[in-house]
């Protein structure tokens, strides 16, 4: 009996040893696998961190490039002093969607005549900014170099320049720009306007007058026709407004809808007796309140001058 008990005890001990050995073997295999997995994870983590560093450096380079591009684009815009030399009171409400803008404004004085322009190029950000350089160069060519003086003829020539610049053997780009172009005689206050899709507003004691544009852009356009122009004699104290569509097209408000041109006209009409600086503040406040938490959809540019 004791002999059988000893055998049973030995048998159980053997089973226990075998079980322990199996457990140790399994633990060893699991350890090796975990160690290998750890090494893989460690390597992958190192790769991710390295790639994150590369991405961060690339993003910083892009950010630095955009910041420098903004400085360059701002340097191309006319200074406030140029407007002060021509107008008693003015404002420029300029809110790019991104660091650089497809909207821009331009100005040139020749004797007692001053050309002031608002331009809305196709797109925004970097693509829009590149097209804006084409537009600014076209204005410089037409008005400063070629001494062209009639707004309609200037837009015709600009359309040709922009179309040729943005056309190659491989691509025929439809990019272009909408423009309000005004020429003002500072002595007679005679204003000549030509527009590509963008109207201008004139506000005075008699109310609002809208000068309407040709319904076509400056650039490649299948149904292109010669631009027309309109001449009007203004009075001292009249206010002239040039603008892109970015303000009116901004989504916001309680229902997330567009601001619309009617609200913009009402805002300007209700502010016309204020100084241009106060009008700009009103425009900014109304825009920010309307936009709220909505993303800005486009570049915004409004120019107001009081004669």
What pTM was estimated for this model as a whole?
0.81
Relative orientation angle of helices 125-139 and 2-76, to the nearest 10 degrees: 10
The more confident residue out of 112 and 39 is: 112
Record the tokens describing residue 294, joined without a space: 């909505």
pLDDT for res 54: 72
13: number of Cβ within 10 Å: 10
1: number of Cβ within 10 Å: 5
The more confident residue out of 48 and 297 is: 297
Q: Is 135:121 a contact under the CB 8 Å cutoff?
A: yes
Cα separation, 135 vs 138, whole angstroms: 5
Residues 217-254: tens digit of each pLDDT: 998 877 889 999 999 999 999 999 999 999 999 999 99
- Least Cα distance to 190 among 199, 198, 182 occurs for 182
pLDDT for res 127: 81
pLDDT for res 100: 85
Relative orientation angle of helices 151-165 and 125-139, to the nearest 10 degrees: 130
Q: Determine the average pLDDT of the residues in 2-19.
A: 65
pLDDT at 13 over 70: no
Record the tokens describing residue 111, joined without a space: 């004797």
Mean pLDDT of the chain: 86
Cα 248 from chain centre: 15
Residue 72: partners with Cβ closer than 8 Å, 6 or more residues away: none
152-156, 202-206, 210-214, 228-232: least confident range: 202-206
Q: Determine the average pLDDT of the residues in 183-211.
A: 95
Q: Is 208:269 a contact under the CB 8 Å cutoff?
A: yes
Q: Determine the average pLDDT of the residues in 99-126.
A: 90
Cα separation, 305 vs 86, whole angstroms: 9
Sole residue written with tokens 């916001």 = 252
Record the tokens describing residue 103, joined without a space: 């909207």
- Least Cα distance to 195 among 110, 248, 115, 118 occurs for 118
The more confident residue out of 53 and 78 is: 78
């Amino acid at each position: 009996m004791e002999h059988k008990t000893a055998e049973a005890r030995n048998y159980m001990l053997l089973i226990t040893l075998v079980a322990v050995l199996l457990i140790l073997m399994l633990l060893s295999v699991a350890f090796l696998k975990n160690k290998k997995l750890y090494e893989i994870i460690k390597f992958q983590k190192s790769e991710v961190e390295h790639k994150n560093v590369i991405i961060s450096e690339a993003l910083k380079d892009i950010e630095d490039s955009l910041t420098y591009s903004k400085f360059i684009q701002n340097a191309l815009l006319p200074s406030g002093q140029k407007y002060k030399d021509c107008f008693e009171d003015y404002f420029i409400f300029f809110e790019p969607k991104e660091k650089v803008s497809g909207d821009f404004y331009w100005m040139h004085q020749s004797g007692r005549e001053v050309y002031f322009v608002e331009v809305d190029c196709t797109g925004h950000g970097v693509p829009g900014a590149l097209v804006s350089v084409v537009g600014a160069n076209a204005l410089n060519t037409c008005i400063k170099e070629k001494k062209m003086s009639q707004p309609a003829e200037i837009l015709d020539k600009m359309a040709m320049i922009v179309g040729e610049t943005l056309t190659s053997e491989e691509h025929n780009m439809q990019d272009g720009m909408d423009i309000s172009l005004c020429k003002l005689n500072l002595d007679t206050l005679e204003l000549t306007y030509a527009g590509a899709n963008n109207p201008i507003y004139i506000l005075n004691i008699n109310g609002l007058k809208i000068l309407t544009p040709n319904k076509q852009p400056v650039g490649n356009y299948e149904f292109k026709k010669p631009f027309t122009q309109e001449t009007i004699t203004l009075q001292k104290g009249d206010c002239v407004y040039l603008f892109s569509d970015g303000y009116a097209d901004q989504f916001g408000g309680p229902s997330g809808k567009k601001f619309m041109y009617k609200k913009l006209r009402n805002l300007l009409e209700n502010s016309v007796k204020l100084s241009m600086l106060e009008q700009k503040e009103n425009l900014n406040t109304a825009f920010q309140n309307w936009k709220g938490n909505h993303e800005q959809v486009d570049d915004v540019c409004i120019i107001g001058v009081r004669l």
